[in-house]
Each structure stands twice: as C-alpha cells, then as structure tokens.
Structure 1
Amino acid sequence: MPQLVPFFFVNQVVFGFVILTVLIYAFTKYILPRFVRVFISRIYINKL
C-alpha cells in the first residue's frame, strides 16, 4: 500500500522528535546535574 508510506514516515519523524526532546529534557534536568555535582566535589576534595 504505497499511499500509507508518507504517514509512516511522518509517524517515525514525530516519534523521533518526541523521544529526542524527552531524552534531552531528562538529561538536562536529572542526569547531567548529578555528574556536575560529582565532578565539583572531586575538585574540592583534590584542593584540600
């Protein structure tokens, strides 16, 4: 059914953007600040 192919690609693109935005939000909100805190604490410990 070739008439369904554009809808398939639109679906793939929409889900791709949704997954990317969710991943970027999760990384910036939860995962990356923990790494930053760990690295900052390591720097402070090394300066002691």
Structure 2
Amino acid sequence: MPQLLPFFFVNQISFSFITLIVLIFIFSKYILPTFTFGQVVRMYITKLSS
C-alpha cells in the first residue's frame, strides 16, 4: 500500500525527534551535572593536596 508510506516516514521522524529531545533533557538534567560535579571535586582535591 504505497499511500501509507508517507505516514510511516512522518511517524518515524516524529518519534526520532521526540526521542532526541527526551535524551537531551535527561542528559542535561541528570547525567552531565554529575560529571561536572566530579570534575570540580577532583580539582579541589588536587589543589588541596599540593
């Protein structure tokens, strides 16, 4: 059924955009601040030890 092909691509594109937005939000809200905090703690430990 070739008339359903554009709907398949629109569904695929919208799902991938929603997935990308959710991944960016999760990384920026939860995962990346943890790495930043780890780097700050590591910097303070090296400055205190020297």
Q: TM-score, normalised by structure 2?
A: 0.94
Q: How many residues are matched?
A: 48
CA RMSD after TM alignment: 0.3
| Unpaired runs of at least 5, structure 2 | none
Q: Name the residue aligned to 1:41.
A: 41
TM-score relative to the length of structure 1: 0.98
Larger radius of gyration: 2
Structure 2: how far apart are the matches of 1:12 and 1:44?
Answer: 46
Report the identity percentage. 60
